[in-house]
Structure 1
């Protein structure tokens, strides 16, 4: 049904246009009528300008996350004279700064604009990845992975904050899945590159070429993204009418803060918000599975494959299937606004996959084992995508979102420490204790998703009955409801 403009309601179409002047937020009224054609054009521009660039960022981020797992199957441990559980120690030491630097990274992005911070950090981790090819011992690899953990900690909070500058909360899942989809493509790409370079017989080892190629790709993409990514909706890429519509859209969902400003009172209040800590605990549980699938999928597949090149090639299929599942599931989540239930259903499939992979005898049933790797990637990553969108949708200030994202993503990344600690060499080749640990964490996460969903359903019922006041910043929006 077409939207009907009420009489005497201010309209975006009635505003004078001055292409040399930015939108003045003091004159924007959240109740102004929005021309659907202008809004549709605006969102289309967002999708064409922002989604491809953010997808490329995630592509490079996933390349770096996947290459160490593939390098393990290509002999990096032998080349660097690593023994025992030193590979797991490298992962643990990576996840410590990766989990602790999220809040500073989020505040840095809030202060200096995510569109500037993202490509700079991206260029840093790409350069460090290239330098990894020159390392000759365990200590050098540890030092480089710690530095990579510091700069990569900026990725998730920066991208989610950047999205919040443009999209409404009900539009976020599918848009986030766009770069998540590219991440799975990156995982598949890394498998293909690893398969190719592992068969080279040149002056360097295959894993060294892997780091040089993928790190170089990241640096090149960072340069492009720095100049292409729009800073905000005041960009000259948008018409004056589109800029105004963009501000009205977001004003209806959050309390505006000045660009580059941080409200410290609001930021510190987040630490007293139990819902944020609950999401952070669920992020930790989610992170155990995400890190396990990311870092050890090549190892699990190698158990089934006949050779290292074949094992790397076999990682392509599970990643491609996971990409398709993520796009479809995200569309369903946006269409029906069901973050928790979509995450629950997809994660349940992956939990079953981890349990079966740990308990079945796959020595004589390798095809069954390979099928189970598809189940593992099917839903492990969905809560990682949906939960931060769900959490930040229920916060109405950008400073609060920045800190909350830092806490959430920090919890998720710390989950990688547990994952790295349980995948120990003495558990090879099955890694049954590690796989059962992941399954238990995913089971607890399933319970957490349902509990938090019911909490917000109950809050919405109280809002509808007038028993609960809208959160600060939404006092003039009686239609506000919490996302679940």
Structure 2
């Protein structure tokens, strides 16, 4: 795994003393020196353009992705089980089988994006899952719903690894968390939006059921937005959106943290060699633990709220508040993570709050204390999603090859998505309305993850100390950048 700079390492190098040599290098666009001077004005202009063209589009993609992840949970409160004649644990089975392709197709999707460009793959996959979402409204039985959800799982598997990989083509480590939280913020807005739409359509009395209108509206929105995303997302830093000086600065920035492989090329040996690194598998295991909580909060929050709200419209409406508060927490926590370059500690303290929330939700008598129960749902969304955001950034920051990142991120997201299988399996109908065994299971997974976060952080702290003392190094791929250190 490649190293990264310490938090106090400047991102803008001082003006080199040998002006002539660097002038000759700048005259040759094919020669990139990571120590080359960067004009702060050009860098600010470049990052500003990244934020203008990339952030809104990725935010819209995540918005639609979260809509689909939330709508099945809302549909459950709107009678989809009764309308489709689902019996026993067939609804849970739909969720479980969705997570299988959602968990195993991540590496192929990431490699597909590396080969054909994430800016093309992301909107194409997005339009496909939007179309499949609209088709869900036409299902009439368990088999039809299961088929559509499996297909959606295949195409939605592309989203997370592709977007993280795409971000690594533009942003540096010190910029990643807050930018990722910017589109993650819209995910919580999507959760709130889905609750509002569900609350509205659940009161319609027309030819279709409320859950059918939910899928039609949200699926149609996704298809329309995917067209916009396809034409706006920059393909790479050589896009027409950027001047020649900005393009060069972009390459210098990336050369300081990774090998310059270019878009449309896969270093196959490097890509799969990363699978022999135990750090990558440790992150995949942590992703699984994280995924149990993420899937539980996403799929079953409306169900958990309904036990407090007592009616379907209120259950859907009451999911808005926890999602909005969680969005604000995510923005603040991501800023702190970027400012102090602390991925593990920020993940740890926010997740600790959510673990306490799951324990309280499982153990307290909330039938007679509904206000307390509703407050606890805010604790659940407070930190459950933070490791989901920060850990893949942490992992990719410690890899210097984009090909290696594609495989590692695919494995990480796959582990997280497979965690959804355990979540779906433990939220069984016979555990309703409290779902105590399921909630305790989530809390245990989060407790183990808390310990793993601290252990992995200490691993990198130890490696950084050895690098500083010269006991190990140089790191493969970063031989010309001995000042790089592992992200912690």
Shared fold (TM-score, shorter chain, > 0.5): yes
Structure 1 residue 5 corresponds to structure 2 residue 15? yes
Cα displacement string for residues 311-334 of structure 1 (whole angstroms, at most 9, x for unaligned residues): 100000000000000000000000
Q: What residue in structure 2 maps to residue 163 of structure 1?
A: 167
- Give the number of equivalent residue pairs: 477
Q: What residue in structure 1 maps to residue 334 of structure 2?
A: 330
Which blocks of at least 5 consecutive residues in structure 2 are unaligned? 1-9
Distance 2:118 2:170 in 1: 12
The counterpart of 2:230, out of the listed 226, 229, 244, is: 226
Structure 1 residue 242 corresponds to structure 2 residue 241? no
Moved more, 28-37 or 317-326: 28-37
Superposed displacement of residue 306, structure 1: 2.8
The counterpart of 1:361, out of the listed 359, 362, 365, is: 365
Superposed displacement of residue 259, structure 1: 2.2
Q: What residue in structure 2 maps to residue 125 of structure 1?
A: 129
The counterpart of 1:374, out of the listed 369, 374, 378, is: 378
Q: What residue in structure 2 maps to residue 278 of structure 1?
A: 282
Q: What residue in structure 2 maps to residue 317 of structure 1?
A: 321
Superposed displacement of residue 287, structure 1: 0.1
Moved more, 251-260 or 474-483: 251-260
Distance 1:14 1:384 in 2: 41
Q: Is the 8 A contact 2:25 2:32 kept in 1?
A: no
Q: What residue in structure 1 maps to residue 297 of structure 2?
A: 293
Superposed displacement of residue 470, structure 1: 2.8
Structure 1 residue 430 corresponds to structure 2 residue 440? no
Distance 1:114 1:361 in 2: 48
Q: What residue in structure 2 maps to residue 212 of structure 1?
A: 216
Superposed displacement of residue 3, structure 1: 6.3
Q: Is the 8 A contact 1:49 1:230 kept in 2?
A: yes
Q: What residue in structure 2 maps to residue 20 of structure 1?
A: none
Q: What residue in structure 1 maps to residue 486 of structure 2?
A: 482
Q: Is the 8 A contact 1:12 1:32 kept in 2?
A: no
TM-score, structure 2 length as denominator? 0.96
SS in 2 for 1:340: helix
Distance 1:255 1:69 in 2: 42
Change (3 A) 1:319 1:109: same
Distance 2:14 2:153 in 1: 51
| RMSD (CA atoms) | 1.4
Superposed displacement of residue 4, structure 1: 4.0
Q: What residue in structure 1 maps to residue 5 of structure 2?
A: none
The structure 1 segments of at least 4 consecutive aligned residues displaced by more than 3 Å after TM superposition are 1-4, 9-16
Superposed displacement of residue 255, structure 1: 1.0
Superposed displacement of residue 471, structure 1: 1.7
Q: What residue in structure 1 maps to residue 141 of structure 2?
A: 137
Cα displacement string for residues 154-190 of structure 1 (whole angstroms, at most 9, x for unaligned residues): 0001000100000011211111101110000000000
Q: Is the 8 A contact 2:25 2:31 kept in 1?
A: no
Q: What residue in structure 2 maps to residue 95 of structure 1?
A: 99
Q: Is the 8 A contact 2:13 2:38 kept in 1?
A: no
The counterpart of 2:456, out of the listed 442, 452, 467, is: 452
Q: Is the 8 A contact 2:57 2:233 kept in 1?
A: yes
Q: Is the 8 A contact 2:13 2:35 kept in 1?
A: no
